[in-house]
């Protein structure tokens, strides 16, 4: 495994996903499943900010809210604010560290305007984590075109990865030095040995 390139597979497979989501090869890795990827990015975003609120939508996919609920319990002072879909944009406030949103809704197929909401979040100093599970492979996505910060998605829906296929996560190049993986196992550590 060490000598036959398996260790690089998360980057290699991640790079193959990038044309579908508008990212650079070094911004995406195929790893874990969607839920732990959300956990890692929510905690990393909170730890990189003075702000303590994660903002999400009441109708978000269940695991996204369950994971966010657990993630905020791990960060002192952090809280999860859940509002209606219609009031997301106007609920971004001075304490909002992160918006956690699913780009294409799993029941209604309603789609957020990724570029506009990302711009609104940035204007008030917040980041956005986009869940692309119902987007990648189904509709065009341009993360860098929208100046996106963070994203996750599963590999087993429109990417046809089959049962047990890993998910992926995206971290925009500009955030890579600032964000630390809170699951610091050896593969998540700068110095594995």
Ligand X SMILES: *Cc1c(COP(=O)(O)O)cnc(C)c1O
Name the site residues for ligand X (rule: CB under 6 A).
Answer: 33-35, 61, 63-64, 102, 106, 131, 133-134, 154, 167
**Residues 46 and 78: beta-carbon distance below 8 Å:** yes
Q: Identify which of residues 35 and 47 has a Cβ nearer to ligand X in the complex.
A: 35
Q: Identify which of residues 131 and 149 has a Cβ nearer to ligand X in the complex.
A: 131
Least gap, CB of 168 to ligand X (angstroms):
11
Q: Identify which of residues 51 and 167 has a Cβ nearer to ligand X in the complex.
A: 167
28 contact partners, CB below 8 Å, separation of at least 6: 14, 15, 17, 18, 21, 168, 169, 170
Q: Identify which of residues 58 and 124 has a Cβ nearer to ligand X in the complex.
A: 58
Angle of helix 34-47 relative to helix 62-73, nearest 10 degrees, comes to: 40
**Residues 178 and 156: beta-carbon distance below 8 Å:** no
**Strand ranges in 5-106 using DSSP code E only, listed in sequence order:** 28-30, 53-57, 79-83, 96-102
Q: Provide the 3-class DSSP secondary structure of residue 47.
A: helix
| Other Cβ atoms closer than 10 A to 27 | 24
Q: Identify which of residues 76 and 163 has a Cβ nearer to ligand X in the complex.
A: 163
Mode of pairing for the β-strands spanning 168-171 and 150-153: antiparallel
């Amino acid at each position: 495994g060490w000598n036959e390139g398996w260790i690089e597979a998360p980057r290699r497979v991640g790079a193959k996903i990038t044309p579908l989501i508008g990212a650079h090869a070094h911004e995406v890795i195929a790893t874990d499943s969607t839920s732990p990827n959300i956990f890692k990015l929510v905690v990393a975003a909170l730890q990189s900010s003075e702000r303590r609120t994660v903002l999400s939508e009441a109708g978000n996919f269940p695991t996204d809210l369950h994971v966010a609920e657990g993630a905020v319990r791990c960060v002192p002072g952090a809280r999860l604010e859940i509002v209606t879909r219609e009031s997301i944009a106007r609920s971004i406030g001075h304490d909002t560290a992160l918006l956690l949103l699913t780009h294409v809704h799993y029941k209604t197929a309603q789609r957020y305007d990724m570029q506009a909401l990302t711009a609104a979040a940035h204007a008030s100093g917040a980041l956005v984590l986009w869940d692309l599970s119902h987007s990648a492979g189904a509709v065009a996505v341009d993360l860098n075109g929208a100046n996106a910060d963070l994203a996750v998605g599963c590999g087993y829906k429109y990417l046809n990865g089959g049962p047990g296929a890993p998910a992926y996560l995206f971290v925009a190049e500009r955030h890579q030095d600032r964000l630390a993986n809170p699951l610091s196992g050896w593969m998540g550590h700068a110095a594995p040995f």
